[in-house]
A and B are shown apart, each in its own frame.
Chain A
Amino acid sequence: MNRPEPHPIHATPARALGVWVFLIAATLVTWLVGERGAHGPAIVALMFGLAFVKGSLIILEFMALRRAPLMWRLLTLGWLSSVCAAIAIAYWKGMS
């Protein structure tokens, strides 16, 4: 009955914990890629796909932009998408 209403901007503690667990697990994958010396376009796509998801979670959940005005989500997620896309293009350019 006395349960507080969820905050309109900030994630609940349980949600934040879930995000943190995912972020650590994804970091472990990236570390493993490095340890095994794995390389190639598929590996790089996986790694930066994960980096994009991790970055989006930081922006939407930790920075609490999930319910902020749309413009701020577009600006920050747009930055993340552009940087990841440019890295992918540069990697592809380096292969040719």
Chain B
Amino acid sequence: MSTPACTLDARPPSTPAPTPHLPGDLAIWIFILAELLAFGVFLVAYAFARSGDVAGFDARQLGLDRNAGAVNTVLLLTSSFFVVRATQEVAAGACARASGWLVGAIGCGLGFVVIKVFEYAEKFGAGVTLSSSTFDMFYLSLTFFHFMHVLLGLVILTAVWLGTRQRRYGPDNMNGIESGAAYWHMVDLVWLILFPLVYVMR
């Protein structure tokens, strides 16, 4: 077993700063690119499907809860910011503080999940299904595909949080937290396009 990477809450002054490089694991970035590609195709497919039935899409879009969508955007952005702070703390050798920021990030992510579950419950209660309209099909499948990524992201963030609790990361061992952070930011990035496209654009 390797020695704990993060045993002090301050970075030793003699530690040489790492040179610029791709943060995290190469494999996670290839995975992220594949995910972005899939989401990209899905988002563009929505946009072109809408162009064939603008009135129908705009009418169904009025039924969406934009406030819930906006609050969820704020939650994801704040969660991403907390993950950035956690990464910065690990880079500075402060695992205990990083762990606190990650708790905040996971809390915001859970907030997103709760709001989304209420949104889905309301939609299902109103008779929205995959076959009720083309808009509903896109709305449900696109947001649910994203929702699954939020859940996976939360599992990853929890694993990273455990890593900071066990002081597995440090200024010289950033790969794990950087990889988890990159995945979580990807989830945020996709939502930044999804929200204006599906909830607001008319």
Contacts and interface: CB of A to CB of B under 8 A. Distances in A.
Contacts of B52: 94
A28 B58 CA distance: 21
Nearest to B197: A87
Which interface class (under 10, 10 to 19, 20 to 34, 35 or more) fits A? 35 or more
Nearest to B55: A94
Contacts of B22: 65, 68-69, 72
B73 interface: yes
Nearest to B93: A4
Contacts of B88: 7, 10-13, 16
B11 to A, nearest CB: 7
A75 B33 CA distance: 8
Contacts, number: 151
B18 A64 contact: no
B97 to A, nearest CB: 11
Contacts of A79: 33, 36-37, 40
A30 B192 CA distance: 10
A59 B33 CA distance: 12
Interface string A71-96: 01001100110111011001101110
Interface residues of B, number: 55
Contacts of A10: 23, 84, 87-88, 91
Given A8-B17, A44-B201, A93 B51 contact: yes
Nearest to A72: B22
B188 A58 contact: yes
A36 to B, nearest CB: 10
Interface of B: 11, 13, 17-23, 29, 33, 36-37, 40, 43-44, 47-48, 50-52, 54, 66-67, 69-70, 73-74, 77-78, 80-81, 83-85, 87-88, 91-92, 178, 181-182, 185-186, 188-189, 192-193, 195-197, 199-202
